Amino acid sequence: MTFVINVPLTIERQPADIIKMAYQKCSAMRAVRRAMVSIFCFWLLFSLICSAQEESLGDVGRRVRAERAAKAAALAPPAKPAGNSSEASRPVDLAREAFVIERSATKITVETDGTAIREVGAAVRINSESGVKQFAVLKFAFTSLNEQVEIDSVKVRKPDGTVISTPESNVQEMTQEVARNAPMYTDVREKHVTVRGLGTGDLLEYTVRIRTVKPQVPGQFWFEYSFLKDAMIKDERLEISYPSKGYLNVRSREVQPDIRQEGGRRIYRWSSSNLKKQDADAASPRKGRAPLPSVQVSTFRSWDEVGRWYGGLQQEQVKVTPLVQAKAAQLTKGLPNDDDRIRAIYNYVSLHIHYVGMSFGIGRYQPHASDDVLSNEYGDCKDKYTLLASLLKAAGYDSWPVLINSSREIDPELPSPGQFDHVIAAIPRGGNLLWADSTPEIAPAGLLFPVLRDKVALAIPPSGVSKLVRTPAEPPFASSQLFAVTGKLDEDGTLSAHMEETDRGDSEAALRAVFRQVPPSQWNMLIETISHQMGFGGTVDDVQTSEITDLAHPFHISYEYTRKKMGYWESRQIMLPLPGFGIERKYDAIENAPREPEELGAPTEVVYRLKLELPPGYTVRLPKAVHLVKPYIEYHATHVLKDNVLTTTRRMIVKQHSVPSSDWDGFRSFCKEVTADESTFLQLRSDTTDVGEIN
């Protein structure tokens, strides 16, 4: 394992370590496997899509989340999932850690023209072979068009006092890994240092100097820093020096700085340490609600100043050209109303302009001209917005760029471009705004992914003052999921069924994304794999879907399903062939209420319907009806047996976004009752006396 140290100073740099990001990706993959518990738990698969999207969303900052690395000595491995709070708060035996950071110091000297020098030094005690492997190679990321990296020294101090220096020949410059593994082009490079002579018991020391020789925005500077929480560190220090005559907005959260005036400069110094394991709740922030950085600084004085700067970058790029005008006329020809014309333009940009990340110099912020994007048929989120805005303008409609952060909230008291990692559109419609994000390619017009909903963002009208606004908390239409099974059970216990699913909302976007990435020749295998994970061990055939690119209507799937020896057929015991809802099992074993209300997602109605024809001569005693009602969620299950056909309906209605912590015990009881109902076995009987109805 190697370590990446993010060294650049300007732009959207957010100091954090690349290993933590890798851990989050593994978590996302585990979320995908959990999603397969139920075909209606595809909303869990959405967490994978969002994770991938977080890398493809941001152009202002998407690359950074992929590249950001350990700050100074923030060379931590992935945070291990903590146990309960009491265990997480116990002191740690440092000798048993793979490594311990003895000290870390980051010193930044900034000038009023935006140039800067960052000096980074650290000392890391290696306690095990695991630590040796993790520190075998150090990687220092930088932008080649703006920054220069000088590796002053990398030394290993042996327990006997011997010092081994890593020679300059062990330093190589390479393209950053994210550029090789993601759809993007970037000028981000890495200095790779293969550490010489590192072993257990050694003290690794290094010092690095990074110069910002060409600011992204002349005369402006912004920076973010998070104190290490994922590893043991005894002494972590940050210093920022800025000319006293200049303006610098400084926001500190966990640790307040010592501020001094020295030699015509204002110097801020922070000091921190971490000798306890991270709390379980802190280790797993809600998707899209990551903690704010420990320290944020910016020279921008107002949000309108940020908006005017970005608006100036994209003003020329959105101009309507003859090529754009012709395309807009083609897309809107014959459409009867404004809504249809806007939707046609949005669908074209969303579905036909492919996302490719581009991050070169000012191109991290400035989009390409709409003509180029239209001709190339690819672009990043800025480019896709630019083409959308230009086509809308050609058709007579206004639109605003909106800067937003997909991974966390922003601090409204600190105007800074570094607080954003994505661009979406707001289209004025009467007194309202139609929100549009064309980057995901498969989201209906108006639908923002959950990580973008109910977020403070910066709206930049073409004229007027740029201002902070809040995105909608709900999808623009009622979310729903319907799963219907029509089947027949024969005398041998073989179930033959036709299964259908119809989705609208977040689960729809997830399903469209999955089916768009998997070729039709593999759809049977896809659904069969999901069915097996759901506990349906049969075979799947003839998978059909509605048009994947028809974003105006719900997404529909149908397939044929066959299962031999259903349930415990030898004893004539079966479970209803319906998937579980999924969310109830997630909380069933969690005893202590979370610190914050637990998210349930957007208000949704999920309905499962079953019509099962029993074998001739068999009947079944019906389960009891279940009706569970909470202010934030409901569950209902009813059963009818008539003419040898068992009809079951299960409904779960999510009414609020979250579970109040005050009712955590009540919610756990709710989950247990839902689980008990889903897990009920039905005993088939070879007489015709037990016919009934329970509602």
Return the CATH number at 239: 2.60.40.3140
Please report whether residue 53 resides in a domain.
Answer: no
Considering only CA atoms, give the Rg of the chain.
28
Please report whether residue 62 resides in a domain.
Answer: no
Q: Is the pLDDT of residue 317 over 80?
A: yes
pLDDT tens digits for 70-117?
Answer: 333 333 333 333 333 344 445 678 999 999 999 999 999 999 999 999
Instruction: Identify the domain boundary among 470, 494, 515.
Output: 470
Q: Is the pLDDT of residue 158 over 60?
A: yes
**Mean per-residue pLDDT for 249-274?**
96
Please report whether residue 26 resides in a domain.
Answer: no
Please report whether residue 408 resides in a domain.
Answer: yes
The two three-digit tokens of residue 329, written as one number: 């006329």
Determine which of 141-150, 353-362, 382-391, 568-577 has the lowest per-residue pLDDT on average: 353-362
Higher pLDDT, 359 or 65: 359
Give the model's pLDDT for residue 588.
54
Please report whether residue 51 resides in a domain.
Answer: no
**Mean per-residue pLDDT for 121-126?**
96
Q: Give the dihedral sign, CA 260/263/264/270.
A: negative
Give the model's pLDDT for residue 67.
31
Please tell me whether residues 596 and 567 are part of one structural domain. Answer: yes
Res. 134 pLDDT band, cuts 50 70 90 = very high
| Distance between CA atoms of residues 458 and 402, nearest Å | 5
Q: Is the pLDDT of residue 511 over 70?
A: yes
Q: Is the pLDDT of residue 379 over 80?
A: yes
**Mean per-residue pLDDT for 515-532?**
92
Please tell me whether residues 274 and 351 are part of one structural domain. Answer: no
Return the CATH number at 409: 3.10.620.30
Give the model's pLDDT for residue 160.
96
| Distance between CA atoms of residues 585 and 325, nearest Å | 53
Give the model's pLDDT for residue 323.
97
Determine which of 215-224, 305-314, 317-326, 595-604 has the lowest per-residue pLDDT on average: 595-604
Please tell me whether residues 342 and 362 are part of one structural domain. Answer: yes
Please tell me whether residues 406 and 430 are part of one structural domain. Answer: yes
Please tell me whether residues 500 and 463 are part of one structural domain. Answer: no
Show the DSSP H helices in 434-522 as ranges. Answer: 506-517
Please tell me whether residues 622 and 495 are part of one structural domain. Answer: yes
Q: DSSP assignment of 187-245, as one string?
A: -EEEEEEE-SS--TT-EEEEEEEEEE-S-SSTT--EEEE----SS-EEEEEEEEEEETT
Give the model's pLDDT for residue 177.
66
Percent of the chain with pLDDT over 70: 80
Contact present, 6 and 63 (Cβ < 8 Å)? no
Q: Is the pLDDT of residue 589 over 80?
A: no
φ/ψ of residue 661, rounded to 5: -60, -30
CA dihedral 325, 326, 328, 331 (to 10 degrees): 180
Q: Please choose, from the candidates 382, 605, 577, 357, the residue with its C-alpha nearest in 3D space to the C-alpha of residue 487.
A: 577
Give the model's pLDDT for residue 359.
55
pLDDT tens digits for 160-189?
Answer: 999 999 999 999 998 766 555 555 567 788
Instruction: Identify the domain boundary among 246, 269, 299.
Output: 299
**Mean per-residue pLDDT for 529-544?**
88
| Distance between CA atoms of residues 72 and 105, nearest Å | 7
Q: Is the pLDDT of residue 36 over 70?
A: no
Please tell me whether residues 151 and 265 are part of one structural domain. Answer: yes
Please report whether residue 647 resides in a domain.
Answer: yes
Total domain count for the chain? 3
Q: Is the pLDDT of residue 614 over 60?
A: yes
The two three-digit tokens of residue 410, written as one number: 């922003």
Please report whether residue 182 resides in a domain.
Answer: yes
Higher pLDDT, 400 or 536: 400
Please tell me whether residues 513 and 661 are part of one structural domain. Answer: yes
Return the CATH number at 537: 2.60.120.1130
**Mean per-residue pLDDT for 213-218?**
91
Res. 65 pLDDT band, cuts 50 70 90 = very low
Q: Give the dihedral sign, CA 444/603/514/548.
A: negative
pLDDT tens digits for 2-14?
Answer: 444 443 333 222 2
The two three-digit tokens of residue 672, written as one number: 């247990």
Please report whether residue 659 resides in a domain.
Answer: yes
Give the model's pLDDT for residue 75.
38
Please tell me whether residues 451 and 579 are part of one structural domain. Answer: no
Helix (H/G/I), strand (E/B), else coil: 14: coil
Please tell me whether residues 508 and 639 are part of one structural domain. Answer: yes
Helix (H/G/I), strand (E/B), else coil: 557: strand
How confident is the prediction for the chain on average, in pLDDT? 83
Instruction: Give me the domain span that covers residue 136.
Output: 3-17+68-299
Give the model's pLDDT for residue 144.
84
**Mean per-residue pLDDT for 225-235?**
93
Instruction: Identify the domain boundary among 431, 448, 470.
Output: 470
CA–CA distances in Å: residue 159 to residues 133, 134, 206, 232, 539: 18, 19, 17, 20, 62
Q: How far is CA 293 from the centre of its chain?
A: 17
Please tell me whether residues 440 and 506 are part of one structural domain. Answer: no
Give the model's pLDDT for residue 290.
86
Please tell me whether residues 124 and 266 are part of one structural domain. Answer: yes
Res. 601 pLDDT band, cuts 50 70 90 = confident
Which residue matches tokens 């009706």?
627
Res. 597 pLDDT band, cuts 50 70 90 = confident
